[in-house]
Amino acid sequence: MSPTTTVDVAAAARAHPARLQLGRRLRSRSAIGVLMCLPLILLIGGLVGYPFFYSIYLSLLNKRETAFVGLANFRYLLTVDTFWMVVQMSFLFTGLAVLWKAILGFTLAVVINTLPVRGQRIWRGLSLIPWVMPLALSSLGWWWIYEPTHSALNWILALLGISPKPWLSEPSWAKFSVILVNIWYGTPFFMIIYLAGLKSIPNELFESSAIDGASAWQRLRFITLPMLKNIIAITVLFSTIVTFATFDIIRVLTRGGPRQSTHVFATYAFELGIATGDVPLGAAVSLFMFPILAVSAFFILRGIRRSTM
């Protein structure tokens, strides 16, 4: 055997175990799982990751997108009074809307869960109507309800002897109106999630506690709420993210007015980036949402992880 042939055989002998090891790794369940998820990962990276990093790039440019200005857009926004009104309205809008959606959704779920099965189906279907309607269409319906001169709402108030309200033309009433529509739209989502959670709680827990003399309030406090704790946290987290990025309701009802008082991050970013043509400044506004939502998600998910350990 020639020296060259001997070297080739030795190299093949060294490479063979490596190929076997690589083959075993590729055939492992975790590797197959990663390979099967790879198209989805690439899709998410393309639809979420690319726009996110492109928004960061845009936010660092001047209005004409011809020069790099660093953090100048962010520094400018921090000096604008309207931006701080947007921050205040975003937190007010999200806080009140999520709180009331959670309270009303939980109450509805508990009430519907106590009904007979046939009654549950009817009320569950009726309760879901606001959530399944196109949001832009339902917002137009609410715009008609809030209309100052010919609306049904002011007509009812007049019948009751109450003076008509400027629902969309006065800042405080406009804030109340858009928050109310978001609560009306989002409460069915909380209701259906909580109702599914209530169905998963074994009836034996309630029956044994009733035999031990526990009141309805004690069953709610010591059985229902602890068993739904993680579901409530996940629902609140998801709703916080969606509510913080609300666009349709405010765009249809008030367009951010009156006097910019109902703008939230999404509508203000649209106003600056699309309506006025300053895309970098609009991108900078939208990026302010990311750290707020990331911190909220971190603390809520950490709380869930600790509660399940």
Measured in degrees and rounded to the nearest 5, phi and psi for residue 67 equal -145, 150
- Of 56-65, 242-251, 287-296, the one with minimum mean pLDDT is 287-296
Q: What is the pLDDT of residue 165?
A: 87
Measured in degrees and rounded to the nearest 5, phi and psi for residue 2 equal -75, 160
**What Å distances lie between residue 100 and 127, 189, 279, CA to CA?**
16, 12, 34
99: enclosing H helix or E strand: helix 81-113
> What is the average per-residue pLDDT within 270-299?
89
Contact 112, 127 (CB under 8 A): yes
pLDDT digits (tens, 9 = 90+) for 100-146: 999 999 999 999 988 887 778 888 888 888 888 888 888 999 999 99
- Name residue, tokens 């992880």: 305
pLDDT digits (tens, 9 = 90+) for 193-232: 999 999 888 888 888 888 888 888 888 889 999 999 889 9
Tokens of 77: 């926004």
Q: Which of 151, 175, 157, 162 is nearest to 249 (CA)?
A: 175
Which DSSP category does 167 fall into? T
The model's pTM: 0.83
| pLDDT band at 265; cut points 50, 70, 90 | very high
Residue 2 has pLDDT above 60, yes or no: no
Percent with pLDDT over 90 in the chain: 42
Contact 168, 177 (CB under 8 A): yes
Tokens of 250: 């405010």
Give the amino acid at 193: I
